[in-house]
Each structure stands twice: as structure tokens, then as C-alpha cells.
Structure 1
Amino acid sequence: MASYKHKKVMSIGIVNELTGLSLRQIRYYEERRLIQPERTKRGTRKYSFSDVETLLQIADKREEGVQTYEIRKDLQTSTKGNLKERMIRGQLNAHFQMNK
């Protein structure tokens, strides 16, 4: 079961309120492939709490003068690390027949 943090349930308006970022900034970060909201059948963007956390990190880095391509590179590296960690944890759980 997916964690509540990763469920895409929030509209861009709610994300705007939570982060303080403008709608334009949020869309720009999507355009730059820093976040990947899901789309409903009607094309409405849906974000997760994890996306909100990522947007706040992006905003902090941008204030420090970090370019978007550098942020994307950092996000990709951390995502690969998280995936590797989950795979190892899964292998250990399977080997020792443990549950999370």
C-alpha cells in the first residue's frame, strides 16, 4: 500500500496555499521536470504531500541561487538512492520474512 505522502490528491491551488509559491512557479517547476504531478482525465494536476516537500526544497535552493538543472540532477540522484534503499530493505524483509 502506498504511503499517504505519495498519494496524488491535492490541487494546484492547495499546493499554492501550502507552499506560498505562485501557480506560475509550480507550473514552471513541472515544466523543468522537477516535479511530476498526475493528471486527471480532464487534465487537472494532482499533487502529493511528497510533491509539496519537494517544492519547498526547490524554493529554498532557488533562493540560494541554485539553477534548476542542478536541482533536477540532485533530485534524480536522491531518487536513485531511495529506490536502492527500498530494494535492499525489500530483499532483507523477504529473506528474513519480516514485515514493515
Structure 2
Amino acid sequence: MSYKHKKVITIGIVSELTGLSERQIRYYEERRLIEPERTRGGTRKFSFTDVEKLVEIANQMEDGLQTAEIRRLEQKAQQQKDAKVRDQMIRGQLNAAFPNRNKS
């Protein structure tokens, strides 16, 4: 796992890095725009990827988007990414099953 995806940053540090208040960060979590992990004690832990995502969310909010719109855009982007991965996997399976099909 890349260091960018490890959930090790507390909400206070995330607040300092992003300029968002802890309240805003918790609100984005409530709206399911961000999903921090929780320690046994309930402390939120974020990754650098989460920090980047929060900055993007803040920029979208400043541009006038609502949280529901941001979530919809994110879901659409994820669906497109999933479709691309699925297509690559199918192509790989076809190439493995028919290794000479692209050769002239």
C-alpha cells in the first residue's frame, strides 16, 4: 500500500493542512464525501489521499456545488474508472486466451 493511502493523519492535522475546520471535515464525512478510518477509541484517521480529496471538495463547494452534486460526480467518475478497469481485464483475458489474434 502506498504511503498516500495509509490512514494515519488525525483530524487536527488534516484541518491544518487543508484550511478546513474540523466541523467542516466532520460534515463532509456525514455527507459521505470522505470516509476516514476510526481507531478503537473512535479517533478519525485520514490519508494523504483523503487530504487531497478534501481540498478538491472545498474547491467544488466554493464553486457553488452542493454536496449531493459532488457525491454524484464522484460516483460517476468511479463508475467510469471501474468500467475502464473491467475493459482492461477483459482485454487481458482475451489476449491470454487468444494470444495470436492481433498478429498478422
What is the TM-score normalised by the length of structure 2?
0.79
| Structure whose alpha-carbon radius of gyration is higher | 2
Amino acid at match of 1:81: Q
Match of 2:18 in 1: 19
Deviation at residue 88 of structure 1 after TM alignment: 5.1
Task: Provide structure 1 residue ranges, at least 5 long, that are not aligned to the other structure.
Answer: none
Task: Provide structure 2 residue ranges, at least 5 long, that are not aligned to the other structure.
Answer: 97-104
Aligned with 1:41: secondary structure? Answer: coil
Match of 2:27 in 1: 28
Amino acid at match of 1:48: S
**Deviations 1:13-65 (CA, angstroms, capped at 9, x unpaired):** 11001000000000000000000000011100000111111100110010011
Deviation at residue 82 of structure 1 after TM alignment: 3.1
Deviation at residue 75 of structure 1 after TM alignment: 1.3
1:75-86 matches, cutoff 5 A: 75-86=74-85
Identity over aligned pairs, percent? 57
- Point out the more displaced range, 11-20 or 79-88: 79-88
Match of 2:38 in 1: 39
Find out whether 1:6 has 2:5 as its counterpart. Answer: yes
Amino acid at match of 2:2: S
Q: How many positions carry a matched residue from both structures?
A: 95
Aligned with 1:8: secondary structure? Answer: coil
Aligned with 1:35: secondary structure? Answer: coil
Deviation at residue 78 of structure 1 after TM alignment: 1.9
What is the TM-score normalised by the length of structure 1?
0.82
Amino acid at match of 2:78: T
In 1, distance between residues paired with 2:23 and 2:53? 16
